[in-house]
Amino acid sequence: MKTRIEFEEVVTRSIKIRERYYELERKNHGKEWTVQEDALAFLSDAGLVGRLTMAHTGKWVHSGDTNEELKHKLGECVWWLAVLANELDMDLIEATQYFLNKEE
């Protein structure tokens, strides 16, 4: 497994993984989640990043493996952003470049 991947690969792999989740949703619930449900799931995971960050810095009691869980949730949030951008017909790479250029 590579230790570093290109941003474009992150987006491509994220979309493929999301397609597999759509299959599970159709099988288990009879339909896919909406973009609004995906956005809510992203926000839930972003909230967990906050809690796990607090645990990582000793400001929140947590009994699990904080480092492992935080690494997972950070990656999951990036995944959700790629998925949401795709669902909204936006290019995440372009959006990120736009933001960085504007802020610089």
3-53 pLDDT per residue, tens? 789 999 999 999 999 999 999 999 999 999 999 999 999 999 999 999 999
Spatial distance between the Cα atoms of 15 and 20, rounded to a whole number of angstroms: 9
Q: What is the number of other CB atoms lying within 10 angstroms of the CB of residue 41?
A: 16
Cβ-contact 83, 14 below 8 angstroms:
yes
Of 2 and 34, which is predicted with more confidence? Answer: 34
pLDDT on residue 2: 61
1: pLDDT strictly greater than 70 = no
DSSP state of 34: P
